[in-house]
Structure 1
């Protein structure tokens, strides 16, 4: 009787495994206009001739992406073949995704139809509330500023789960702003509490914005895709939990910025748009020269504000001087302080005539947001005495000339040529090159060049005779070049900088190799592209592991424990990929 029960249970078990299940699933049947979502068609048997529905009412952004998974449970080994699509809801209303078809075991199976309701887009704050493990915010140093006053802004991600490489789905257009990004070598993290919950906070992108017009400016929205690890609730053959990667779509509204116009009251005539706090200096290299000498007038502005957009005042020079094109030097930095730096302009002046001349004071004006007023800095006037040379024809007998005087002066060449003090070498009539020391030296040089070309040609032929070794050598060189910065950080025992450089090297390599822009970079997309190009599965698994290791160190305390092994592994993987592809 016990044996009969056993065989009956065994028959039922095999019968249940043999049943074909072909289903369709979506994360939610209610989506918002413009939202992207995934549709999955899953069959538990190997199939062929898969036919997807036409997805009327939606835009197909990606797919079909296929994946195969196997696992074991109390009933035996399970198999799943999944076809997935990424859709975008464009129109409001209720839409039906029709059935999909597949052949397996000589029979055709179909999924059920599924209804999707598309509603109006909600506020970003409401969307973020769906997943309490992830929060995206746009933070600014000020929401009310004057036109031209810099603002420090950043995109901050709060998370309390394991995350992967993020990609921006949407960014503000920043219309009406001048924008300059702040380049950080690595992303710093900190702990913050929100509603009593502890989060890890990371600024994904920092920037300085300078409003170029007044009014209420709305830069736009931020859309971010964040891959997270989700426990499937199942375990593998060895008892370890099986996880899968899911992409969360986060949204945030960039704060509205109120930009106040600069006041008209008290605005100087020479004001050119400088906003901030500045220092202005003017210097002259010499005040007494002769007509065969030159002098340099130097103007320097430095401070904090919209320094990159500031114009340096234009001095007025006496007509008795030839003024050459100025040399301009600019330096600026951006950070949480906004923007600071300096601008230097130097004029080279060459006198045409003797006499005494004057350069009037030079004034620089700017608006100070702290005092809410205009401020002006003026230099001293300079008197220049030029010795020697003739007096200007139109100004004979005058002791001084101002910057506003007018005179007609014929053009003088702008090239200053030096006088040769030594004669060139003269050749004798009986000087000959044939059999001279120069002749034998040239002959020896030609022989050395020919020998070098011979050895180079022989080496290249040997390389061509072994193409696999040549490919491997080139691949190793490319890998070493990509990992140059990572090797430098490794040698300096800098763990965080090493893994950041390693991650940048890997993504930079695949961006160039696969023509994959930054906003499309994700582990899933990368492995999919590499699989299409024929990269072996073991290499794909090793690559995914090293990328995951490097990504996690951006948000955890990195150590040098495995750095050497990770560097060697990354170098080996890039070499193999370059050889295979």
Structure 2
């Protein structure tokens, strides 16, 4: 009897431990309470033994950028005690300097609970090119921080790392509100080895932009979030995400001085170099000569579309812009424009080509200057005799009359028979329109056939990827092949690009949701170890059918 009672009590003890477990707990944790601008950190909200509880919000989180977010839950039994926990993981980065309070708000069984409070202090970014000898950091560099209106400047973003990286990229698109921006394409950016304080780094050029201010005053270049995936060498979790913020910059744009501004000033600002060459200084009447003009330097030439505004006595003038070049050379902007001025003499003799002056503002000297092409003399041979011969011919009415009578006498007035033919009369303009229409229809048909043929080949390549997916043996291989399909179809990578970039490229909301489901599944499996069920092959099959229609 005593044994039965002891066994019953032991059973009740075990049962109550399994049912009730430990006490409920709502907790908020962060990696570091002291942060600086551009530094990310991990924030975790833990809900322990509160199955069914939901996180409503984290108060104060609007002062931070949320770079990533995920959640997971698990149940464990240790020493006969069951424990259930759910965690919300955030990677956050402060938006500004200051002191901020974070606190989680949770709903559980109809009641509202609050986690502990965290007091976060955010300091200004430390101005240190070596980022306190960090093994990975991003550097923001401006070619100038004080310019005149009309000047162009260079903005560079460089990533320095001592780690092997799987991929990297900005999490937001550039948006420079007060500037016209020209972003250098990714295929033009380079990487090389550098040494900083005796340590070897790989330097990746991750962004190079030419900026032209649209107004004067103090203009701000915002900071941008950036993600680098550091290779771990682990098969199931091949990379670890690291986040940065670029450094915000301020540029002072000064107005151009009105005093001393030439009336013919067209807006050229910078350090201008001008070279010119006259092809021939002696020509025959009826021939032409060309003045080649080359303008180069750290100078804004956008407003210059021709060299001469006025006619030159004794010449017919034809101006053409041959080419234009804009480059980033080191940390300097470089522009180049080439013009051809074709000069056709209207008379013979020695003709004067006057001095040509181009006004521009020199920001180094802070004054207006002129780039000049020296005056030249062009010798034109012949011409007078040809003009006199024409005048004699046109002033002889008898000969003109004779020519006319001969012309009339050659007209064949013999009637021609149209027997055996259908004869149509159509205006030349109508005939031209009809022929042009037929030609356009033929061209459209060729384009249509070419596009269909190309699409057919596209489908075949897409099918080949899908065949490989069917044969894939594990989820990592599946994810790699699925990424290849998305890259092929939409020219964007799931591994190298953010969700924001995906949504900008793919407009189909339903398709995006399915793609995100696969991404979230893989990331949760890699980083949190949560066992969430998903049939990847079936989900990819669903996506494949949608994009192949």
Name the TM-score class by shorter chain.
0.5 to 0.7
Give 1:226's aligned residue.
Answer: 227
The alignment partner of 2:223 has SS state of: strand
The alignment partner of 2:224 has SS state of: strand
Change (3 A) 1:365 1:129: closer
Q: CA deviation at 1:141?
A: 5.2
Give 1:250's aligned residue.
Answer: 245
Change (3 A) 1:380 1:431: farther
CA distance in 1, matches of 2:516, 2:149: 57
Give 1:432's aligned residue.
Answer: 421
Give 1:135's aligned residue.
Answer: 137
Residue deviations 1:273-331, cap 9 Å, x none? Answer: 353352422436786555xx56364442143332634735316434665556x332222
Q: Please, what TM-score do these two structures have when normalized by structure 1?
A: 0.53
Give 1:275's aligned residue.
Answer: 270
2:337 to 334, 343, 346: 343
CA distance in 2, matches of 1:512, 1:433: 65
Residue deviations 1:184-222, cap 9 Å, x none? Answer: 51653344444555433222112345789999x665453
Give 2:157's aligned residue.
Answer: 155
Q: CA deviation at 1:334?
A: 0.7
Query: Contact between 2:271 and 2:299, CA under 8 Å: does it hold in 1?
Result: yes
Give 1:446's aligned residue.
Answer: none
Give 1:201's aligned residue.
Answer: 203
Give 2:103's aligned residue.
Answer: 97
Give 2:377's aligned residue.
Answer: 381
The total of aligned residue pairs comes to 445
CA distance in 2, matches of 1:244, 1:519: 17
Q: CA deviation at 1:530?
A: 8.3
2:59 to 55, 60, 63: 55
Query: Contact between 2:171 and 2:497, CA under 8 Å: does it hold in 1?
Result: no
Change (3 A) 1:287 1:536: closer
Give 2:327's aligned residue.
Answer: 334
The answer to whether structure 1 residue 534 and structure 2 residue 527 are counterparts is: no
After the TM superposition, which of the residue ranges 348-357 and 294-303 deviates more from structure 2? 348-357
Query: Contact between 1:224 and 1:251, CA under 8 Å: does it hold in 2?
Result: yes
**1:280-295 pair list within 5 angstroms:** 280-283=275-278, 288=283, 293=286, 295=288
Give 1:509's aligned residue.
Answer: 490
Query: Contact between 1:97 and 1:116, CA under 8 Å: does it hold in 2?
Result: yes
CA distance in 1, matches of 2:147, 2:230: 42
Q: Which has the larger radius of gyration?
A: 2
Change (3 A) 1:127 1:340: closer
Q: CA deviation at 1:156?
A: 1.8
CA distance in 2, matches of 1:512, 1:428: 75
**1:14-93 pair list within 5 angstroms:** 15=18, 23-27=26-30, 28=32, 40-43=44-47, 47-48=51-52, 50=54, 52-53=56-57, 55=59, 58=62, 66-68=70-72, 81-83=86-88
The alignment partner of 1:331 has SS state of: strand
1:183 to 168, 174, 185: 185
CA distance in 1, matches of 2:251, 2:510: 42
RMSD (Å) for aligned C-alpha atoms? 6.6
Change (3 A) 1:264 1:531: closer
Q: CA deviation at 1:30?
A: 6.1
The answer to whether structure 1 residue 314 and structure 2 residue 308 are counterparts is: yes
The alignment partner of 1:381 has SS state of: strand
Residue deviations 1:64-120, cap 9 Å, x none? Answer: 955447699998999865445688778966546353125xxxx67876423244656
Query: Contact between 1:24 and 1:39, CA under 8 Å: does it hold in 2?
Result: no
Query: Contact between 2:355 and 2:372, CA under 8 Å: does it hold in 1?
Result: no
The alignment partner of 2:227 has SS state of: strand
2:116 to 110, 114, 126: 114
Change (3 A) 1:273 1:241: closer
The answer to whether structure 1 residue 579 and structure 2 residue 545 are counterparts is: yes
The answer to whether structure 1 residue 167 and structure 2 residue 133 are counterparts is: no
Please list every run of 5 or more consecutive structure 2 residues that lacks an aligned counterpart in the other structure.
1-6, 390-410, 424-440, 466-479, 526-538
CA distance in 2, matches of 1:58, 1:242: 30
Query: Contact between 2:44 and 2:87, CA under 8 Å: does it hold in 1?
Result: yes
Query: Contact between 1:320 and 1:351, CA under 8 Å: does it hold in 2?
Result: yes
Change (3 A) 1:42 1:268: same
Q: Please, what TM-score do these two structures have when normalized by structure 2?
A: 0.55
Q: CA deviation at 1:429?
A: 1.0
Change (3 A) 1:504 1:363: farther
Q: CA deviation at 1:332?
A: 0.6
The alignment partner of 2:301 has SS state of: helix
Query: Contact between 2:148 and 2:255, CA under 8 Å: does it hold in 1?
Result: yes
